[in-house]
Structure 1
Amino acid sequence: MSCPLIANADVMRVTRLDQCGNPVCGEDNGFVFDCFSSLAMNNNSDDGDDIQYKAANGRVCGFRRGCPTFKGFDLELNVFSVSPELIEILTGNPVYLGYDGTPIGFDTCSIKCDTGFALELWAEVLGEECAEGAQGQWIYFLLPWVTNGLLGDLELGSEAVTLQITGSTRAGGSWGVGPYDVQPIDAAGTPGPMLTPLDSACHRRTFITTTPPPVPSCDYAPVLCDASVS
């Protein structure tokens, strides 16, 4: 039995999704970054209705606690990087291009409720002995469908500027086992996609992996289409 300890968050990747929660394949549909300060995944649930039978004399004859319903996670992502590519994938608002077609800014127009993204996070692991040949160990978080990405309040002054993006997870989607290699698929440590897809009722998957996270970049990352996308 493993007893991992979560250290600091390391790398994050976002992937553009279509309206059905499918990964959108192509050169400009992913982004890998590490210039963020925190990611909060706050439970959103309904407490349900309690049922109580109370007699005329005030005695409680019966009581049943309401069953909570899990609605998903409300996300708060705080980033330092004002990357047009990242903001465009997270919010669905368009980038502003320079004379050579390179993104140099972004527009803030509306809340795009018909767009979405998947979010992956790698956090370093403490207290676990690495397998032979492994470069390290990480706890991998997958949120396969996030919608309603919104850029929060922005205040510019003499201190460091942090951008906050909020969103909420959805169940379902069509991430399947994903378009990326995120875990070993054999005893030799060969990187591959997840071994089983996330259930359609689930909002998050978390597991330990020895497959290293992708390398951060300041450009779009390609999302490749192959048989692993389902």
Structure 2
Amino acid sequence: MTRLDGCGRPLCGDDSGFVFDCFASLAMNPVIEDGEDVSYKAANGRQCGFKRGCPTFNGYDVELNFFSVSPEFIEVTTGNPVVFGYDGTPIGHDDCSVACDTGFALELWAEVLSEDACDIEGAAAGSWIYFLIPWITNGLLGDMEIGAEAVTLQLTGASRAGGGWGTGPYDVMPTNAQGTPGPLLTPLGGTCHRRTFVTTTPPPEPVCTYTPVGEDCVTPVPVP
């Protein structure tokens, strides 16, 4: 996860990123608005022509089910504040509002397990399917039920097109025949919501706390 500003650009800072692997599932459900069919009829009622309406793709509804309750993760994705202990350690969070004017980016690596995975050029250390949704807003925690079993939380959000992710602040793919890791070779188009490709660049190690973002990002404006 990477914190974004109101224009969908990665924000610099020691607390702008979060890397974890304790999640159960991630759903990316397309939001489609049906188009209006057009039928052409003659005066006698016979249909002379028909054109199927073109659906409009409005993005993805994102649903992430996870186990670990990390205040830092919740703060990056929902914008709700962290509660700190006496020694400055994050121990919880407040539920206050829905952050509709900022957002976060989501990147996911899923290991390729097929038998031909090692046939991919430069896959000596493995290969992964890489997913990027560069701009998600309206981050919100779902229903919570406390019982005898472990607590599972659900985070929901909605993707947006455009934004300022560009080629990204991280190394996610090979940039030459030697497999040198680097950022995206091309940015997403202004109408795109997601990018998916196979990469031999491994995912970052999960640390389950804030991680710094210091390159290809914008410095946040101090609040007076």
Query: What is the TM-score when the length of structure 2 is the normalising length?
Result: 0.91
Measure how far apart 1:59 and its partner are.
Answer: 2.8
Indicate conservation of the 8 Å contact 2:35/2:56, yes or no.
yes
The equivalent position to 2:9 in structure 1, one of 22, 44, 48, is 22
Indicate conservation of the 8 Å contact 1:134/1:189, yes or no.
no
Q: Encode CA deviations 1:18-41: one digit per residue, 9 max, x unaligned.
A: 000010011101000100010000
Across the aligned residues of Structure 1 and Structure 2, the Cα RMSD in angstroms comes to 1.5
1:201 is aligned to 191
1:162 is aligned to 152
**1:52-201 → structure 2 map (5 Å cutoff):** 52-55=39-42, 57-125=44-112, 126=114, 127-129=116-118, 130-132=120-122, 134-201=124-191
AA at the equivalent of 1:77: L
Measure how far apart 1:70 and its partner are.
Answer: 0.8
Cα distance in structure 1, aligned partners of 2:208 and 2:166: 27
Q: Encode CA deviations 1:77-104: one digit per residue, 9 max, x unaligned.
A: 1011100000111111111111111111
**Structure 1: segments with no counterpart, 5+ residues:** 1-13
Among all aligned residue pairs of Structure 1 and Structure 2, give the percentage whose two residues are the same amino acid. Answer: 70
Indicate conservation of the 8 Å contact 1:29/1:222, yes or no.
yes
The answer on 1:31 being equivalent to 2:31 is no
Measure how far apart 1:128 and its partner are.
Answer: 1.9
Indicate conservation of the 8 Å contact 2:10/2:216, yes or no.
no
**Match of 2:76, SS?**
helix
Question: Cα 1:134–1:25, aligned 2, differ >3 Å: closer, same or farther?
Answer: farther
AA at the equivalent of 2:27: A
Cα distance in structure 1, aligned partners of 2:20 and 2:203: 11
**Match of 1:37, SS?**
strand
Q: Encode CA deviations 1:134-160: one digit per residue, 9 max, x unaligned.
A: 311001000000000010000010122
Q: Which has the higher strand share?
A: 1
Q: Encode CA deviations 1:40-95: one digit per residue, 9 max, x unaligned.
A: 00011111111113456543232111011111011111011100000111111111
**Match of 1:104, SS?**
strand
AA at the equivalent of 2:117: E
Q: Encode CA deviations 1:91-142: one digit per residue, 9 max, x unaligned.
A: 1111111111111100001111112000000001123225457311001000
**1:211-222 → structure 2 map (5 Å cutoff):** 211-222=201-212
Cα distance in structure 1, aligned partners of 2:186 and 2:86: 45
Indicate conservation of the 8 Å contact 2:123/2:200, yes or no.
no
Cα distance in structure 2, aligned partners of 1:88 and 1:224: 19
Runs of 4+ in 1 over 6 A off after TM superposition: none
Indicate conservation of the 8 Å contact 2:122/2:200, yes or no.
no
Cα distance in structure 2, aligned partners of 1:62 and 1:162: 53
Indicate conservation of the 8 Å contact 2:117/2:126, yes or no.
no
